[in-house]
Amino acid sequence: MWIWQALSGILLTVLLVVHMVANHFVVEGGLRTYEDVIHYLSNPFIFALETAFLIVVTSHALMGVRAIILDLGISPAADRRLKAVLVALGAVIVAYAVWLTGSVVLRA
Amino acid sequence: MDRTLSSLPVSEHVARASWWRRAAAWVDLHGRREGWLAFILMRVTGIGLVFYLFLHLTVLSTLARGRQAWDAFIALARSPLFVAFDAVLIFGMLYHGLNGLRVILLGLGVGSRRQAVLFWGAFVLSIVLTAVAVRMILMMG
Ligand code: HEM
Digit-coded pLDDT (tens) for A65-98: 999 999 888 899 999 999 999 999 999 999 999 9
Look up residue A63 and give its amino acid. M
Residue among A28, A37, A96 whose CB faces B63 most closely = A37
What is the domain partition of chain B in residue ranges?
Answer: 33-140
Residues of A in contact with B57 (CB under 8 A): 93, 96-97, 100
Q: What is the DSSP letter of B111?
A: S
Any CB–CB contact under 8 A between A30 and chain B? yes
Answering whether pTM is above 0.90, one says no
Return the residue of A nearest to B39 by Cα. A68
Q: How far apart are CA B82 and CA B138, in angstroms?
A: 12
Residue of A nearest to B95 (CA): A13
Of the candidates A11, A57, A68, the residue with the CA atom closest to the CA atom of residue B56: A57
Partner residue facing A57 (CB), from B53, B64, B140: B53
B90 or B17, greater pLDDT: B90
Residue B32, pLDDT score: 62
Q: For residues A33 and B27, which has the higher predicted lDDT (pLDDT)? A: A33
Structure confidence at residue B130 (pLDDT): 98
Q: Which fold has domain A2-107?
A: 3 helical TM bundles of succinate and fumarate reductases (1.20.1300)
The fold for domain B33-140 equals 3 helical TM bundles of succinate and fumarate reductases (1.20.1300)
Average confidence (pLDDT) over B90-110: 96
